[in-house]
Amino acid sequence: MIYDSWDILTDPNPKLRKRSEEFDVKKVKTADFQKFADRFADFMLESDGVGLAAPQIGFQKRIIAVQEKDGVGVYVNPEIVKTSPSMQEGEEGCLSVPGKFGIVERHKRIHVRAIDRHGRRVEFKLAGFPAVVWQHETDHLNGILFIDKVKTWTEGGKTKV
CATH of domain 14-154: 3.90.45.10
Q: Is 137 a catalytic residue?
A: yes
Q: Is 140 annotated as a binding residue?
A: yes
| Mean predicted lDDT score pLDDT of the chain | 95
Active-site position among 91, 105, 123, 137: 137
Q: Is 136 annotated as a binding residue?
A: yes
For 141-156, what is each residue's pLDDT tens digit? 999 999 999 999 998 7
Q: Is 94 annotated as a binding residue?
A: yes
3-state secondary structure of 78: strand
Describe the chain by its helix, strand, coil percentages, rounded to 5. 25, 40, 35
Residue-range domain boundaries for the chain: 14-154
Given pLDDT bands bounded at 50, 70 and 90, which one contains residue 160? low
DSSP state string for 110-137:
EEEEEEETTS-EEEEEEESHHHHHHHHH
pLDDT at residue 48 is higher than 90: yes
CA distance 124 to 34: 22
Q: What is the pLDDT of residue 4?
A: 78
Kindly state the average pLDDT of the residues 47-71.
98
For 62-120, what is each residue's pLDDT tens digit? 999 999 999 999 999 999 999 999 999 999 999 999 999 999 999 999 999 999 999 99
Kindly state the average pLDDT of the residues 106-135.
98
